[in-house]
Amino acid sequence: MKKSLVAAIAILLFGAALTSCDDKNKQPSSNVGVAEYAPEKYWQDKYTGELGIQMGKSAHGSARMMLGGVQLYTTGLNVYDFFAQSWERDNMGTNRIDRVVEILAENKVPIVRFNCSPFYGGDDFERNPARVNQWKLYYEQQKEKYFANLEYLAKKCDENHILLIPSVFWAIGSVPAYLTSKYQASDPDFYEATEDLGRVGSKSYEFIRTYTQEVIGVLKDHKCVAGWEFGNEFNLSVDIPGDGKWSGNSLARASKLFADTCMECDPHHRLVMSGYSIMRNSQYNQYTLGTWTTDTYDEYVKINKILYPDPMNGISEHIYGEDREFADLGKLNLTQTVIRLKEMASSLNKVCYVGEFIGPVTSNGNYDVVNKFYSCFTAQRVQISLNWAYSLGASTEYSYKEDTPQGDYIFQIIRQTNVKMGKIKQD
C-alpha cells in the first residue's frame, strides 16, 4: 500500500514537472508547427504509405524519424522475452505471447523492443543446465514452429496496434558459439571466433545474412514492424584493453553486413538501428590506442561514425545514469548527455533513440529519478525512448510486471508521457 502511494505521488509530481519543461533524406513534411501523434496517424485504416519508421528531415534539414508521414515522438518498453518466452517458458506455444499482447494493449503501450533470437549457442549444458544450445534446439531443429511463433506475435501486434523493434541478434556472441558447435563434429579443428563476425568467407558472414533474411522474410509485410535492430550493447565488448578478442573493426564490418542485408531484403527500407549502449567514455581511445583514456567530444563523434557504417541510420544509446564524461567538456548531466547525443547524430545525418533507460527496479524504487528521465526525454524531443523492462512474471533481470506498484507506475507514466509527446510540434 505504501509503495503504491509513493508511485501515485511520483506520477503526480512527474505530470507537473513535465508540463513545466522547455518544450540524404526525404523532403521535410509540410506540417511544420503542427502537433500530430504519429502512431495514431499510422494505424488509421486510410494510411497507405510506407511501412515502419522512415528517414525524413526537419524544415531546417536535420534527420528525423518519420512514421505515417509525420515525425515520431513516443515512449514505450523493452519486453526482452516477448518472443523468447515461447521456447523458454511456453514449450514452443503462444499462450504467454497472447497474455503479453493483451497487457500491452490494455495499457496503451505503443512500441516495444524485444529479443528476436536465441541467447545461448554453445553446448554448455553439462556445466550449466540453463545454457542449452538454443540455436540448435529451437531454431535449427524446430525452425517451422520457431518462425510460426514469430509471425503469430507480429500478427497479434498488428491487430492491437503495437509497434515492434526486433533486436535480431541480441547476444551476438552466441553466433560463433553455435557455429563452432555445429561444424566441429565434421571438422574437429574448426573454430569460429567473434573477431570473424561479418568477414567475407566466414561461416558467421553466411549465417548473419541468412538469419537476417529469414527474420525479414517473416516480418517485412507486417505493419507493426517499426525497424530492424542489430543486437544488444555490442560496443561494450569491443576493443577491451588487454583482451583483444573482438575489435571495433570487426563490429563495424558485421554492422554493415547486417544493415546492407536489411536494405536489400526489406522493400520498405525501414530504419536500421544498432542496439548499442551509450559509448564508453574511452571508446575511441580503446579503438585507436588500446587505452582507457577519456575521449574528447570530437572523438565521440568519430567513433560513432566508425561503428555506424552506412546504411545503418539509427544510433542507439542506453542511459542509466549521469556518468557521461568528455576530456574537454568534463562530466555531463542527463540533459547535456542527451543534447550531445542528438548533436552527434545530426552531424552524421543519422537519427538517435534511447533503447534502454532506468526504470523503477534499476533505480531501486527511486521514482524521482525515473521521472527525471521521462521529463528530460520529452523536453529534449527524444524521438523514441524505451524503459527497461517489462516481463510477464518479472522473469527478466531488473524487470517488473503488471498489477504491482512498479508496473502500474510505468504503465501510467507511459500513457501520460505519450499524451505530452502527442503535443510536440513538427519542426
**Helix (H, G, I), strand (E, B), or coil: what is residue 329?**
coil
Average pLDDT over residues 62-73: 97
The pLDDT confidence band at residue 120, using thresholds 50, 70 and 90, is: confident
Average pLDDT over residues 190-211: 92
Alpha helices (H) in 138-279, listed in sequence order: 143-160, 174-183, 203-219, 248-265
Of 347 and 193, the structure prediction assigns the larger pLDDT to 347
Residue 145 CB contacts under 8 Å (≥ 6 apart), including other chains = 92
- Tens digit of pLDDT for each residue in 352-408? 999 999 999 999 999 999 999 999 999 999 999 999 999 999 999 999 999 999 999
- Tens digit of pLDDT for each residue in 157-171? 999 999 999 999 999
The pLDDT, as a whole number, for residue 188 is 74
The pLDDT, as a whole number, for residue 94 is 97
The pLDDT, as a whole number, for residue 191 is 79
The pLDDT confidence band at residue 128, using thresholds 50, 70 and 90, is: low
Average pLDDT over residues 280-298: 98
Domains and CATH numbers, the chain: 2-421 (3.20.20.80)
Average pLDDT over residues 59-71: 96
Average pLDDT, the chain: 91
Burial 262-283 (b: 16+ CB within 10 A, else e): bbebbeebbbbbbbbbbbbbbb
Mode of pairing for the β-strands spanning 63-67 and 54-57: antiparallel
Residue 147 CB contacts under 8 Å (≥ 6 apart), including other chains = 214, 218
The pLDDT, as a whole number, for residue 183 is 80
